[in-house]
Amino acid sequence: MENIFDDSYFMKKALQEAEIAFEKGEIPVGAVIVVDNRIIARAHNLTETLNDVTAHAEMQAITAAANFLGGKYLKNCTLYVTLEPCQMCAGALYWSQISKVIYGATDTQRGCGVMGTQMHPKTEIKGGVLHEEAASLMKRFFIEKRNLN
C-alpha cells in the first residue's frame, strides 16, 4: 500500500494555507510543520492583516510548532512551505534547528538561496515540490493585484 504521507501530500496542505492567504489579500504563501507524519502547525502570510513585516507564513508556523512542542527547537520536524524562505525566515529556521525544509516555488529575487543565507548545517533542504502549483498561485495573485490598481 502506498504511503499517502509523502512530500506532495504535505505540500498540498501548505498550498491550502496559501489559498487562505490569497483570499485575504495576503501574498499567497502557506506553511505546515510536520513531525511523525502529523501536522503540528499550519500558517499563512499575515503581514497585511497584522500590519507586521515579520508575519510571514514560516514565522507563524515556527511559533505555532514551538508552542505545540513546548520548546523552541524543531528537531525531527519538517517545514513544508509554498515559496522558498526569505533571508529573515531562513535565519529563524536556522535558530529553530529544524531538521528539514521543503519548499515549492523558488524565489529568484528574495529567496535565501539567491541572498546567500545559510540554514543550520544539519537542516536538509529540498525545493521544487509542487513547484508549478505554488508558482501559478503566486503569479495569479500578482496579476490580479496589478489589474486592481
* Residue 44 annotated as binding site: no
Catalytic residues: 58
> DSSP readout, the chain?
---S-SHHHHHHHHHHHHHHHHHTTS---EEEEEETTEEEEEEE--HHHHT-TT--HHHHHHHHHHHHHTSS--TT-EEEEEE--BHHHHHHHHHHT-SEEEEEE--TTTBHHHHT----TT-EEE--TTHHHHHHHHHHHHHHHHHH-
* Residue 56 annotated as binding site: yes
* Residue 89 annotated as binding site: yes
Binding site, by residue number, is: 56, 86, 89
Binding site for Zn(2+), by residue number, is: 56, 86, 89
